[in-house]
Structure 1
């Protein structure tokens, strides 16, 4: 677990804040938001007053370009820089830019890679591939935003920062209701209540 803030929120607090989204399910019933699909990410928001709890999930490929453990010092540095960025920069912000990360945590999930000299490793999968297992990034944040309004317009830097992320599904729940939107190519802004 990577935590970027001494006040990092426990996962259970965030999950409780977003529980209504998970119960409601995706707006597109044919879509499985938990499915591991390269190019696709999922962002859930729970909005209360001027506070937002976020939970972002994505295959590691979308974020770092591979789904194995880092093999070189350069890859380790890149992964550390990405984790730092994900934990300390708002994954959504109001268009005027009024949100601040109050707490954040970045987690990497998935099976650990086996070393190249492991005798139990299958030779047919020995090439540098993603067959070591699906690895995911899970990022949770608590944001404080100034004067959130009904119909607030938000922007997300995720698709600009991570070019392998082609589609970002955003789901939200709050005092004004719930909804979702799919941000495709060249889309990075959305409104609550769209």
Structure 2
């Protein structure tokens, strides 16, 4: 009985992730890939927060194909480094630290430079960033901030969904907003 709420929250986060994972396959779901729009999902369990950001690559790195030039490779490398150091959300007191970060792209792996490149250049590329945060002293904080809109001005709208021991909900941030409140 004691693990039931955790199992329930884990199942809810999995449901949120599955429902939003359509951005990784934008070609099969035309409404999923919208430039200027990103989705952020968060699951809060004690002082641990699991996050997943899904966005068209253009919002984060300015292009949607596999990096070809040194400048494009550097942009992607800079994003990976930024995501490994910078919490996608934080408390007003900046209590959160990134303990794990992963970045996935929807373009083919392996660096194809053949006749498929023209198709690749015209396809929709997406980026997914997952993070685990440790937010010591979190308590029942309901005020949050995100650096996403300031760091990536091409994100015009950010849909935030959350699940916590107190319930679940969501909100939409419009550029240049950077803070939101979790309603219990």
Same-fold status (TM-score > 0.5): yes
Query: 3-state DSSP class of the match of 1:93?
Result: coil
Once the two structures are TM-superposed, the CA of residue 150 in structure 1 deviates from its matched residue by 2.8
**Match status 1:18 vs 2:13:** yes
The answer for the alignment partner of 1:154 in structure 2 is: 144
Counterparts of 2:82 and 2:164, CA distance in 1 = 26
> Which moves more between the two structures, 63-72 or 91-100?
63-72
Do the aligned partners of 1:41 and 1:58 also contact (CA within 8 Å) in 2? Answer: yes
What 5-or-longer segments of structure 2 have no aligned partner? 1-9, 21-28
Instruction: Report the equivalent of 2:26.
Output: none
How many angstroms apart in 1 are the aligned matches of 2:179 and 2:124?
Answer: 29
> CA 1:70 to 1:155, structure 2 compared with 1: closer, same or farther past 3 Å?
same
CA-based RMSD? 2.6
Q: 2:69 aligns with which of 72, 80, 98?
A: 72
Please name the residue that 1:41 is paired with: 38
* Conserved 8 A contact 2:38-2:53: yes
The Cα offsets for residues 13-49 of structure 1, whole Å up to 9 and x where unpaired, read as xx75712435888xxxxxx9x7010000000000011
Which runs of no fewer than 5 residues in structure 1 stay unpaired?
1-14, 26-31
CA contact (8 A) 1:89 1:101 kept: yes
TM-score (normalizing by structure 2):
0.79
Partner of 2:93: 96
As a proportion of its length, which structure holds more helix? 2
Cα distance change of structure 1 residues 189 and 20 upon mapping to structure 2, 3 Å threshold: same
Structure 2 distance, partners of 1:107, 1:168, is 19
**How many residues are paired up?**
165
Shift of 1:135: 1.1
